[in-house]
Amino acid sequence: MTDNKLGVAIVGAGYWGPNLLRNFTACAKTTVRWLCDLDEPRARKVAAGFPATRVSASLDEVLADDNVSAVAVATPVGTHAALAMRALDAGKHVLVEKPLARTVAEGKALVAFAAKRGLTLMCDHTFCYTGVVRKMRDLIHAGDVGDVLYFDSVRINLGLFQSDVNVMWDLAPHDLSILDFILPSSMKPVAVSAQGSDVMKTGYESVAYLSLHFANGAIAHVHASWLSPVKVRMTLIGGTRRMLVWDDMDPSEKLKVYDKGVDLREADREARAQVLVSYRTGDMWAPTIDGQEALGRMVSEFATAIEERRAPETDGEAGLQVLRALAAADESIRRGGLRIPLDASL
């Protein structure tokens, strides 16, 4: 901490780096000391409106600054682990853009090394800091939804094609991190199955369907695509008491709560195939959603977790949970959609 503020360096001035620069600068708990990028002219252009922020193409120069206590990594996925490890080795707390790393092994190494050094490792699972996701978590944890039966998410648009990962690694981390964040801690996926296709012959799947299976029979499904003519960001959560519909493209009522459902009872206990179905149809309402910018809340959580010496809400373990699901999904695609068990010890 310097001047009662956490000195932060941002590595990466591409797509996400400017957003982090703006929010870390606006946060009352942090000050941005450096913006680091191999393309120094681009970094200078991004930092032009932030006179207190110095620019460098050398990570060594940035890490040598004793006024830098934390580093935010916003670079291509394949570089996350190496850059984060260098920062941890230099004694800096680290925030990493999703996903945490390119492999489970890399993610485990980061988590273990951060713990060994007593440093904070956090993954920027931005959607977990949105008002709508936090409201859904509150409703589920309060029992208003009942037992969660299914999670169905569509995250599709036209582009942006990535040059180092498939569409699943690009888009599905949002949904996987949301799932891990909103579900009760007792509810963890036990297996993953997935299908995908490299229809554009780029070397990476551009359309993918991922399913997570839970021990209690619940299922979560994610449809991710770079080849949709329309942008859709919609999630449905079905529970035994109520159902939630989140349409992120709706500017006024992003979350709707439906008091609807289905009740089943056996007509004859000796004839289990016979059931009676009754439908519950009640009101729909749109709860008030906290409008605070997700990134602003995220950077504040990063600084507060460091200050209080506690794990952040989306810590390295949360990032590792997402990596395990993505790795299993890749394996499932390679094996024709086979269901792959999830082992938390791996």
The confidence score (pLDDT) of residue 260 equals 85
Strand locations in the chain, DSSP E?
A: 6-11, 30-36, 54-56, 70-73, 93-97, 121-124, 148-158, 189-197, 207-214, 219-225, 227-239, 243-247, 255-266, 275-285, 340-341
**CATH topology for 130-292+325-341?**
Dihydrodipicolinate Reductase; domain 2 (3.30.360)
The confidence score (pLDDT) of residue 274 equals 59
Calpha distance 116→316 (Å, rounded): 13
- Model confidence at 268, pLDDT cuts 50, 70, 90, reads low
pLDDT at residue 36, as a whole number: 98
Average of pLDDT values for 138-152? 97
C-beta separation of 172 from 150 below 8 A? no
pLDDT in tens, 282-336: 899 999 999 999 999 999 999 999 999 999 999 999 999 999 999 999 999 999 9
CATH 3.30.360.10 residue window(s) in the chain: 130-292+325-341
**For strand 30-36 and strand 6-11, is the pairing parallel, antiparallel, or unpaired?**
parallel
pLDDT digits (tens, 9 = 90+) for 82-102: 999 999 999 999 999 999 999
Length of the chain: 346
- Which segments of the chain belong to CATH 3.40.50.720? 6-127+294-315
Residue 58, beta-bridge partner list? none
CA 168 to chain CA centroid, Å, is 12
pTM given for the model = 0.92
Q: Are 62 and 92 in contact (CB under 8 A)?
A: no
CATH number of 6-127+294-315: 3.40.50.720
